[in-house]
Chain A
Amino acid sequence: MKILIIDDESLNRFLLLHMLEEEGYTDCYEAKDGPEGIQLAQEVQPDLVLLDVMMPGMDGFAVAPVLKEMAGDNYLPIIFITSLDDKESLARCLEVGGDDFVAKPFDKLILAAKIRAHDRIRQLTSKIEQQNQSLRYFQQSVDREHAIVEHIFNNAIVNKELVTDFFDFSLSPAAVFNGDVFLCESSPAGGLYFLVGDFTGHGLASAIGVLPVSRTFRFLARKGYSAGEIAAQLNTTLGSLLPPDMFCAAAVIEVDASGCRFNIWNGGLPSLLLKSSTNLSMYKVVSRHMALGILESDEFDAECEIIEGEPGDQLLVYTDGLMEVMDEHGKMADEEGVMSWFSSPETITAAFLFERAAEYRADSIQADDTTIVIFSCQSLEVLKEDFATNELPYSIHLTLKGRELNNPHIISSLMEMINSQPGMTLVRSDLYTILSEMFNNALEHGVLKLSSDLKSTPDGFHQYYQRRDTLLANLTEGEIGFKILFKPSESALDITISDSGDGFDVSTLDEDSLTACYGRGISFLRELCESVRFSDNGSTLSVRLSMAK
């Protein structure tokens, strides 16, 4: 411990030095007046100063504030050594920045005890300062980490404006990071998907799960997976990532291009509400499943509920933060409360519901993340523009012979090839019908030479398909060729299927045999395709599917 003595009388300095030495303080410095003391203090940075009050020129009262100023935030104890004994002078010692005083002639025991006491305070103070420093450092690194994570979140969870324009939503995290999530994405089949999720707890720990959910959701949505399949995949992803006590209550909703038909998987979210715009009746889609990230993949149930609305109807999806608000008596608003807020005749906005909840909890703070999403039933046709078709032409040529024709996956694999091209999902239902009509026509009538007449009675209908199975199982000859050509300049998909059969008299085709159990295939093709044409005496069939939106 470095002790600085400032006294104009050398005898005093000698006595003090001697005493300090006896007490074990050997690192001592002496100055004969104020300015010298200040200069020495600057050089040696003392831990304690013994300061005489009465000195010629600059006295102790003037020196003390300068020393304190120099010490800055560090605690530098100053003990005045004084022969003055009037109360005012003693009080002044403390007022100018001194920490203590000892009367002259000083008492060795008292002075030593005081030095030790101040040494203790000095050590405590420096410890606190060290802790403050590490706290400041910690705070800074946390701030920095949060800034980085926030940046990542902002980039990872970007909903396209084209899609969010169809929603009215309010996201209100209880902390900096939101453990709730709202995602939406357009569907390649037309229409859109959206997801509202609520992770256990709130803050950064809950928010972290949002990243994999966002990635998985977007990937599967762009590929046109069903709501149930998306939920199942999210469950698997979260199950492998989250600790056992953490999970995500969520609803995955698929809206078709009409904007009125919903395919809903609800696992642990409060009931979704569909409000009729005409009679204000409300339909509840209750949670039928456990939250995501709990069940094993083989226990998971992807069953969805399908509901339909009318244009103008409102579908409300919210997290429990909205209904779990408490009034001053500790009573929760609950689902009934939300239903009554939502039930008023005018079109309800997300902001309106959030205000009702804020009013309900009055002065208490928002305890949980609150997410409110409202979709109003409306046509989503414009979203189809989000999926462009290929700019370059492509073609698929395929000839299947004999046994190869007895493969149950022919149409599925053709579908897979064509669907892997951008923009094709929009027409996949039509395409499936067209391909299977054409293929079955070539196979059953061309290659297997089955006659449709058999299908005119219910029993015959079954016999027909039994014979088809038998013939197909023993098939060794015959072939069917596929030519599929995409022409971007004409926005058209041309499909030609030819078979090795004998063909038939095209003029016998009955154009309108809708009440019969058979013969409907060709009229189907005429409805679904831009053009339908037989050639090669009926053994080649060419159609054109228009891709124009």
Chain B
Amino acid sequence: MTITANLSDDNATWVIKLDDKFDFGKVQEFRDAYQSLPEDITTVEVDLGQTEYMDSSALGMLLNMQKSLGERSLAYKITHCRPQVARILTISRFDKKFDIS
């Protein structure tokens, strides 16, 4: 598995961790990562700490996740972005929909 998904230590956050590439090749795997979310979580965190390469389909996947989970009131975070990745997210104005750090 190149994507891992785990519950955080405080059981409140679902953490999805990507590897070095977040591109169209991850479409299925990324969707699987949020298919069975625990009931009582409040936040979904996408950890891009390892991610160096990204394309526009990654942005599509992120938005799709929000749409699919739309009926649940969850906070969405993108964490540990490298500056280059953070720049792409900012260019796409993703900071309006995700808490980026």
Contacts of B53 in A (CB 8 A): 428-429, 432-433, 436
- Cβ B64 vs Cβ A520 within 8 A: no
Residue A455 lies at the interface, judged by CB distance under 8 Å to chain B: yes
- Cβ B55 vs Cβ A437 within 8 A: yes
**Which residue of the partner chain B has the closest CB to A527?**
B91
- Cβ B23 vs Cβ A436 within 8 A: yes
Contact partner of A429 among B25, B31, B49, B84, CB < 8 A? B84
- Cβ B57 vs Cβ A429 within 8 A: no
- Cβ A462 vs Cβ B88 within 8 A: no
Contacts of B82 in A (CB 8 A): 256, 261, 429
Residue A385 lies at the interface, judged by CB distance under 8 Å to chain B: no
Contact partner of A514 among B24, B50, B61, B93, CB < 8 A? B93
Q: Contacts A261-B83, A429-B52, A437-B56 given: A465-B88 contact, CB under 8 Å?
A: no
Q: Beta-carbon contacts of A278-308 to B below 8 Å, as 1s and 0s?
A: 0000000000000000000000000010101
- Cβ A520 vs Cβ B56 within 8 A: yes
Q: Contacts A433-B88, A520-B56 given: A440-B24 contact, CB under 8 Å?
A: yes
- Cβ A455 vs Cβ B49 within 8 A: no
Q: Beta-carbon contacts of B68-92 to A below 8 Å, as 1s and 0s?
A: 1000000000001011110010011
The B interface, classified by DSSP as helix, strand, loop or mixed, is helix
Residue B60 lies at the interface, judged by CB distance under 8 Å to chain A: yes
Q: Contacts A261-B82, A306-B80 given: A517-B60 contact, CB under 8 Å?
A: yes
Within 8 A of A (CB), among B25-43: 25, 27-28, 31
Shortest B33–chain A CB gap in Å is 14
**Which residue of the partner chain A has the closest CB to B81?**
A261
- Cβ B60 vs Cβ A518 within 8 A: yes
Q: Contacts A458-B68, A520-B59, A524-B56 given: A257-B83 contact, CB under 8 Å?
A: yes
Shortest B58–chain A CB gap in Å is 9
Residues of B in contact, count (CB < 8 Å): 32
**Which residue of the partner chain A has the closest CB to B84?**
A429
- Cβ B23 vs Cβ A524 within 8 A: no
- Cβ B83 vs Cβ A256 within 8 A: yes
Q: Beta-carbon contacts of A408-444 to B below 8 Å, as 1s and 0s?
A: 1000000000000000000011101100110010000
Residue A263 lies at the interface, judged by CB distance under 8 Å to chain B: yes
Residue A258 lies at the interface, judged by CB distance under 8 Å to chain B: yes
Q: Contacts A514-B92, A524-B92 given: A465-B55 contact, CB under 8 Å?
A: no
Residues of A in contact, count (CB < 8 Å): 34
Q: Beta-carbon contacts of A449-469 to B below 8 Å, as 1s and 0s?
A: 000000100100110010010
Contacts of B93 in A (CB 8 A): 514
Shortest A425–chain B CB gap in Å is 10
**Which residue of the partner chain A has the closest CB to B48?**
A306
Residue A312 lies at the interface, judged by CB distance under 8 Å to chain B: no
- Cβ B56 vs Cβ A461 within 8 A: no
Shortest B83–chain A CB gap in Å is 6
Contacts of B101 in A (CB 8 A): 308
**Which residue of the partner chain A has the closest CB to B54?**
A433
Alpha-carbon separation in the docked complex, A528 to B84 (Å): 10
- Cβ A465 vs Cβ B27 within 8 A: yes
Residue B63 lies at the interface, judged by CB distance under 8 Å to chain A: yes
Shortest A521–chain B CB gap in Å is 5
Contacts of B56 in A (CB 8 A): 433, 437, 518, 520-521, 524
Contacts of B25 in A (CB 8 A): 408
Contacts of A520 in B (CB 8 A): 56, 59-60, 92
Shortest A244–chain B CB gap in Å is 32
Shortest A220–chain B CB gap in Å is 16
Q: Beta-carbon contacts of A522-545 to B below 8 Å, as 1s and 0s?
A: 011001100000000000000000
Contacts of B92 in A (CB 8 A): 514, 520, 523-524
Contacts of A408 in B (CB 8 A): 25
Alpha-carbon separation in the docked complex, A437 to B91 (Å): 15
**Which residue of the partner chain A has the closest CB to B49?**
A306
Q: Contacts A432-B53, A433-B53, A433-B55 given: A517-B63 contact, CB under 8 Å?
A: yes
- Cβ B49 vs Cβ A263 within 8 A: yes
Q: Beta-carbon contacts of A55-66 to B below 8 Å, as 1s and 0s?
A: 000000000000
Alpha-carbon separation in the docked complex, A198 to B84 (Å): 34
Shortest B29–chain A CB gap in Å is 11
**Which residue of the partner chain B has the closest CB to A224?**
B52
- Cβ A461 vs Cβ B83 within 8 A: no
**Which residue of the partner chain B has the closest CB to A427?**
B84
With a 10 A CB-CB cut-off, give which of B56, B88, B101 has the most chain A CB atoms: B56
- Cβ A462 vs Cβ B24 within 8 A: no
Contacts of A257 in B (CB 8 A): 83
Alpha-carbon separation in the docked complex, A461 to B84 (Å): 26
**Which residue of the partner chain B has the closest CB to A460?**
B64
Alpha-carbon separation in the docked complex, A432 to B21 (Å): 10
- Cβ A436 vs Cβ B55 within 8 A: yes
Contacts of B27 in A (CB 8 A): 461-462, 465
Shortest B79–chain A CB gap in Å is 8
Q: Contacts A256-B83, A514-B93, A520-B92 given: A461-B60 contact, CB under 8 Å?
A: yes
Alpha-carbon separation in the docked complex, A527 to B27 (Å): 24
Q: Assuming A408-B25, A517-B67, what are 6 further A-B pairs, CB within 8 angstroms?
A: A256-B83, A261-B83, A308-B80, A429-B82, A432-B21, A465-B28
Chain B positions within 8 Å of A, measured between CB atoms, are 21, 23-25, 27-28, 31, 49-50, 52-57, 59-61, 63-64, 67-68, 80, 82-85, 88, 91-93, 101
Chain A positions within 8 Å of B, measured between CB atoms, are 226, 256-258, 261, 263, 304, 306, 308, 408, 428-430, 432-433, 436-437, 440, 455, 458, 461-462, 465, 468, 514-515, 517-518, 520-521, 523-524, 527-528
10 CB-based A-B contacts, threshold 8 Å: A306-B80, A308-B80, A429-B82, A433-B55, A461-B27, A461-B60, A461-B61, A462-B28, A518-B56, A520-B92
